[in-house]
Every structure is written in C-alpha cells, then in structure tokens.
Chain A
Amino acid sequence: MSQVVAERPAILGEIDRARRSASRRHKAIFAATWVVILLLIGAAIYATDNRDTDWMATFGPFILGGAGITVLVSALSIVLAVVLALFGALGRLSSNPVINGIATFYVSLVRGTPLLVQLYFIYFSLPALGIILPAIESGVLALGFNYGAYMTEIFRAGIQAVPPGQREAAEALGMPERLVQRRIVLPQATRIVIPAIGNDFIAMIKDSALISLVGVQELFWRAGTTGRPARNTLEAFVIAALVYWALTIIFSFFQERLERRMARGDR
C-alpha cells in the first residue's frame, strides 16, 4: 500500500459547509413563509371580530367528533375502491369479451356521471327499486364505486407498466397464468400505483364532505349545521377546514413512509 495519503483538499470542506448552510437557510425561510401566511390569515379572521369563543367551546368538540365519521367513511370507501379497481383493471385487460365489456362499462358509466348524482341515485333513487340503504352505507358505496372507476385506470396502467420480461420470465419457469399475476405482476404493479392511490385517498377524504348532503353527520355536516343558524359560519368552517387539512397531512406522512419502505429492494 502506498503511504501517500492524499490530503483532503480544503475546498471540499468549504463546499460542504456552504451547502449545509444554504440548506439550513432554505428550510428556515420556508418555515418562516408558512408562519407568516398563517399569521396573516389568523390576523384577518381576528380583525373580522368573528370569534365567538363561547360558541366554539360549545360546538367545537361536536364538529371535531365528525372527523371520526369522515375517517371511517373514507377508509371503508378506499377499501371498496381498491377491490373494485383491482378487479376492474384485470377486467379491462382481460381477453374475455364479457368480462372486458363489464369492466369497460363500469369505468365509462361511473366516470361519465357526477359523484353527487351517483350519491343521490343510490340514496334517493334506489328505494324506488325497493333497495333502501342507510346514509352512511350509501355514501361508502358512492365514494367506493366512484373512486374505484378512476383507480381502475390507475391499476391498469400500473399492470401495464410492469416490464413484459417479468411475465415472460415467470411463464418460462412454467408458472400458470394465475400465479404469474398474483406473485409476479400484481406485487410490482402495486408498488407502481401506490403514490397515485395515496393521491386519490387524499382527494376522497375531502370529497367525503359530499355525503353530508344525504344527512351523514360527518365533519362538514356538523360544521354547517351548527355554524349556520347562529351565524358562526366563519368559526365553523375554519375548524372544518383545519381538520381536513390535518387529516391529509397525517395521511401524507404515513404514505411517504410506505413509499420509502416499498422502494427498498426495488430495481
């Protein structure tokens, strides 16, 4: 071994230091920007003199309690949506014309009509056919079917994004079609679609406000119902907005961790 240990040039240390301090400065200004925006909004609300603390103490907890129903409905809906999307995507890629036809029809109909119309149809129109569903169930069905259709296309793209060589390698090992799908293609497709699914879930948390219109007492319903009669709408909807925002931030945090975990060992 050579004894000549090259001395680390001083410039490298300076570059590191400069880079670190630039990054610190960036983070500090970023945080300060947020604080300023929030303070400005807070000050604006304060200036309107709309801060009925008695009202907030009375109804704040009630509004917050709606968050539980919002989360519950969103979670059930996303599970339904993922299941529908999985079968929908396999159907959209199926060579069987009946299965393909059903899946394509589903996507076309659901994407072609407004979520609100679907919700009203399930809650108000199905009873005409003798199918009577409670509000929460109707909401979950509407959200699940609606997002399932959009996610069908995401899943389909994810499956198609798995390199064809993966399928060929599995087939060449003698794996039958079902096994190829279940063990090789779908696990890889899942990794590909997780960011998009997470995005849809965030959108769904907020679209769940629509189900207040059939009387589900979730976050938005409670804010509206308590805020409007007493003219405390500002307080009510600011609370609701903050809760929705907090929910999505919490969810994004877990989603990022999941994505990082999934990325390990990949390619």
Chain B
Amino acid sequence: MAEDWKNGGFGLYVHWPFCQAKCPYCDFNSHVAREIDETVWIRAYLSEIERVAGETPDRLLNSIFFGGGTPSLMHPDTVAAVIEAARLHWTFANDIEITLEANPGSAEAGRFLGYRDAGVNRVSMGFQAMNDADLKRLGRIHSVNDALSAFDVARSCFDRVSFDLIYARQDQTLQAWESELEKALNLSVDHLSLYQLTVEDGTAFGDRYAAGKLRGLPDDDRAADMYLLTQDICDSYDMPAYEISNHARLGTESRHNLIYWKYGDYAGIGPGAHGRLTLNGKRFATECPKLPAAWIERTSAGNGESVRTQVSPSEQSEEYIMMGLRLAEGLDIDRYTQLSGKPLPNDKLIYLQDLGMVSLSGATMKATRKGQPVLNAIIRELLAD
C-alpha cells in the first residue's frame, strides 16, 4: 500500500524570521534585527536541506515556500542558493510551485525580478487592507498606492500572484468590506487569501483585547454574515473558496498549501518551522527552535531540529480531519479509516448531515456552506469520544 503522505505530495517550507517591524496582530515567528549576515543563513539553510534530503531521498518535490517573517527582505542570491540546493537534492516536479511571501513595498518590488531569475514563480503579497487608515491601524508600513504599484511589478514578473486581506476588522461595516473586496477582485489577481481578523494571545492586539481596549470588533453573528457575504461575492467573480479562507480561479490554487490540507509530507527548515515527515513507515512531527540565533547554532552543529516526535496513527487521523475538512473538495472517509484503524462513527456523520453541516457522497465528506463557519464545532463533534 502506498504511504499515506503521497495523497498530499511533498513540499519544502523555508522560514525567514525577520521583519522590518512587528505587526500588532501577527503571532508568527518574526523578529526585528538590525544586521543580518546572509552568508550565515545560506550556510544554515543549505546544511538543513542536505540533512533532510538525506532522510528523504528520491522524492519528487512539488513545492517550495518561502514564508516568514518577511522573506522579501532576503537577497535574491540567498533565495537562488536555497532553490539550487533543493534542485540538487530532490527531483523537482515538472510543475513545481515556488512561492515567496512579499511585503507590498517599493523596495521589495525592486527585488522581484531577481526572485524570478532565482526560480520563484509565485508571490503572495500581504496587502491586508485596501485603505490607508486601516493599514495604519493594522500596523502596516505600506500604503495602498505602494501595494498597487508593487502588485503591477509582481504581475509583470510572475505568472501567479496572490495577496492577503484581513477583514472583520475594528468598526468595519458589511458595505465597506463589500466595496473593498470588489476593489481587490477587480485587480487581475488569480488567488486571494481572505482572513477574518483573529486576536491571538501574545500579540499586541491580544494584550489590548485583554485590557478591553480593542473595540469595535464584530460579534460572531456579524462575523458570520461577513463570511457568507465574502463567499457570495467571490463566487460571482469566479473566485470560489477552495479552502476556508482561500480563493482561486480554477487551477491556480496554492499547491504548497494544498500539501498541508491534503495532509502530505513537508520538510520545515528555519527558525520555528514545523514539518511532517514519513520515515520508514512512521510519521514524525518536526520542529525547529524559534529563536534565530538558537537555530543557527544548532545547524552549525549539524541539525536544526529541536523536536522530533512520532505522530501516532490516531493522531494522524485527527490531523487529517482538521486539515482535510477545510477544503471545499472535502476529505476521503476511507483514508481516515485507514489512518485511524476505525471508521468515523456513522451516527455522527448522519447527525451532522441531518443538521446540514456536512454533505456525504460516496467516501467523500465536505463541510457545507452552513458548516464552514462553524467547522471547529463539526470537528469537535466528529472527534469527541
């Protein structure tokens, strides 16, 4: 029997942990540093690629993703070196997707050509909002005009361009979001990530929220209305959601992120990067230390990983549900059964179907439009003892 990860493919995630400034809502592993010696970083990435590739020889690499932090602060030569090393150690798929997350500022746009020459074929830009006042509130250092110019440059350099927007923001009305979204959709964009603002612990927003000072956030009812409105508008622009927060024209879905949601294998290198690797028939969760200096130190000792734990079959089946149900195409119930060793309880499936939360067809289960906004509750119901 084929190993389970092959259902999702294999990708490489490269984490660049630095930003020019920390955004108040962001809980990703990012750091602000004054001076960065990129030769040190190239050496570290390359030794990590060599190490992981040694454990996963003969694999076809479907995707590389440069995430962060702000990877568009990397020198194109650094990006090129990483891509070359990956090409050397794995076999690239013919249609390999190589994505780089970019801040939509003028300085970054100047490097886009260099990234293209290095092998990057897709950029994902952090627009976040389409008006300057809200960009300021979100702590962003670019303006809408900066973003639009950067977008034009990106369009001219790359076949595939995506950008992110954050909605359900403070004091945002349904109408304001509708016009903002339409503005975005009218750009020649093939992929959009539309995230509802999530207040995370340990961020500046989290602290302000705890202190009762983050006002004007929508309640659950309005947030749900905004979500449904988003789906309707995007559908009418032929940009349906293929995942809870991601929209694309048919065929331009992010292949890299599909590896996560289809529960494939991925190598994670860089500070705080996570991975899932199937080795000798067992699946492992890997994790690198979050602090850049700690990770660099480890890599120079030969191994950037700080944690490697086996993911048990039943844990794998839970992760598959949590990831797979996010996709519009749904998940394969038989695959779940194979992973967990026991089928999903039929009474729960029928119950959720009767509630209109999921639809069942053959071995495929999908969250319905009604179910998508309450997906966590569906997952709890499915996986509760």
Do A and B belong to a common assembly?
no
